[in-house]
Amino acid sequence: MIAYFPTAYPDELLYSQLARFYTKSGYMTYTFAAEELFASKTVRPDMDFINSYTSAAVQAITRNMPMEAVIEKHTMFPCYGRFLPKERRQKAFQSLVSMKGNYHNLLPISQSKNGKVRCLRYCPACTANDRDQYGEAYWHRIHQLIGIHVCPVHRCYLMDSSVMITGKATPSFKTAEEMIPQAESCILADNEIEIRVAVYMAEVFRADVDMNSSITVGEFLHSKMAYTKYRSVRGEQRNIALFHADFTEYYRGLPRNWFTELWQIQKVLTNDRMNFFEICLMAMFLDITSDELVHMELPEKTQQQLFDEEVYRLHEQGLKYPAIAKALSAPYVIVKAIGEQRYGTYHKPTKSSLKSGMKPQNWNQIDENTLPLVKEAIRQLQGDGTTRPKKVTAFAVEKILYFSSKKISLYLPKCLAEIQRHKESQEQYWARKVAWAARQVEDRGVTLTWRKVRDLTNMRRRDFEACLPYISDYADSELVEQIIHLL
């Protein structure tokens, strides 16, 4: 029977509340308390999340609020769960509410980096405050966010306690009141970017988690790059190298920042990385308010649609395509193609119009008209020096031009021939990618290493070795010399 159970303080970890329960209930040993609370008494108390509790413990924990609110307000779920894709987010939440252990597989919980033990942290000023206001200290969730080093309220550095979160310490309950020294002075942070990151992360963390949103964070961040120099005029291309350069410059003064590589940024945009800290850094850099980030919305119309509509509007007003191209600072061929409705997402030819009705000479004309677009697309795929090269295939070209698949190979022989002229073997394509990466590294003025090439290309060592015989087709002899000796 659990007679007395303390009420949770604002932003208190559930673990902290249980620890306070333990010290105030007068158990002879930890084991007695563990038996009362945990379904398995040998389990290690989870400090970030929950354990499987006895029904008596569940009753006590949920006396003032339902388990759903406990998970949202007193565990680290808003950090690890918030930016997961909808289905996984809901599954993880449900498994926490029903106290199933599989939430560990559903949440992107990073293992401690380079074997460093994570400890419960605290802010000396918050502690003094809590002792004043509540008569005791407690463990705050916000101080445990990975990537935060400054108290967002007091702007002083957080301190490590001796309570280990990771690691193999004997299971126990340690209250903040016992573990944090009585008088401890604050060390004020004076690093502006570090403080801003902490305040931003805390705002995002505190907001309610939208459990039903089906917008992915990658899509959202991409949409927020619209009309910046990180997207092309029409918005269909991302200039990720420029984004990376500006981003790393912006956060240059941020200490202990592991999120500095181009491939990491790319993985956030493709929803392959969902780290809370990394997403907050990208959003803050893009001037997205914390409020916008927790209520993600996509624009009703994409940048491409709006661009195309603008072309139509100007054309109806009587402007000629060269003038429109100039007004919109876009390439003439593209503007003309859009105006003639040969290029676009929502006015592509329907399947039936492809199958029937069209006379062969029409296709010849279309083939002829499309050829410059195909050449442009091939050039894009090969990379303009800043964007990463992609493999030239009919499929990739069709994707850029928003053509239905196989349209080129079935109907446009001249275009197809142009693509085949640029066809490469896998090894040749790798060689082109490596040469591009090496030039990128050179441009930054840093030493060329295999690691840097690997990070930019995501290539395996084996593939790198396989492409070496072709390198000389894509780089000058001086660069070839350097690349060959990288391993």
| Footprint of Zn ion (CB under 5 A) | 123, 125-126, 151, 153-154
**Closest CB to Zn ion among 126 and 438?**
126
Nearer to Zn ion among residue 23 and residue 129 (C-beta):
129
Which residues have CB under 8 Å from 426's CB, separation 6+? 391
Residue type, 249: E
Nearer to Zn ion, 153 or 245 (CB): 153
User: How far is it, in rounded angstroms, from Cα 327 to Cα 321?
Assistant: 10
What is the nearest approach in angstroms of Zn ion to the Cβ of residue 126? Answer: 3
Q: How far apart are CA 263 and CA 282, in angstroms?
A: 14
Contact 77, 83 (CB under 8 A): no
Q: How far is the CB of 158 from Zn ion (least distance, A)?
A: 8
CB of 153 to Zn ion, least distance (A): 4
CA distances from 366 to 337, 374, 404, 412, 452 (A): 11, 12, 15, 8, 44
Least distance to Zn ion, CB of residue 124, Å: 8
User: Strands (DSSP E) along 250-327, which ranges?
Assistant: none
Label residues 104-136 b or e (16+ Cβ within 10 Å = b).
eebbeeeeeeeeeebbbbbbbbbbbebbeeeeb
Smallest distance, Zn ion to C-beta of residue 394, A: 59
Q: How far is the CB of 10 from Zn ion (least distance, A)?
A: 13
Nearer to Zn ion, 154 or 414 (CB): 154
- Tokens in use for 22? 């333990």
Residue 127 DSSP SS3: helix
Nearer Cβ to Zn ion (152/218): 152
* Cβ–Cβ under 8 Å, residues 455 and 413: no
Q: Which is nearer to Zn ion, 99 or 153 (CB)?
A: 153
CB 197, min distance to Zn ion, A: 16
C-alpha dist (Å) from residue 235 to 305, 324, 340: 9, 17, 19
* 11 vs 418 by CB, closer to Zn ion: 11
Query: Tokens 């996984």 map to which residue?
Result: 88
- For residue 240, the tally of other CB atoms under 10 A from its CB is 19
Contacts of residue 52, defined as CB under 8 A and 6 or more positions apart, other chains included, come to: 38, 39, 40, 43, 99, 100, 101
Read off the amino acid at residue 185. Answer: S
Looking at residue 161, what DSSP letter applies? E
Q: Other CB atoms closer than 10 Å to residue 34's CB: what's the count?
A: 21
Residue 126 or 374 with smaller CB distance to Zn ion: 126
CB of 184 to Zn ion, least distance (A): 12
Q: Which is nearer to Zn ion, 89 or 143 (CB)?
A: 143
As given in the structure block, the two tokens for residue 167 are: 């690691």
User: In whole angstroms, how close is the CB of 380 to Zn ion at the nearest point?
Assistant: 50
- Separation of alpha carbons 286 and 185, rounded Å: 36
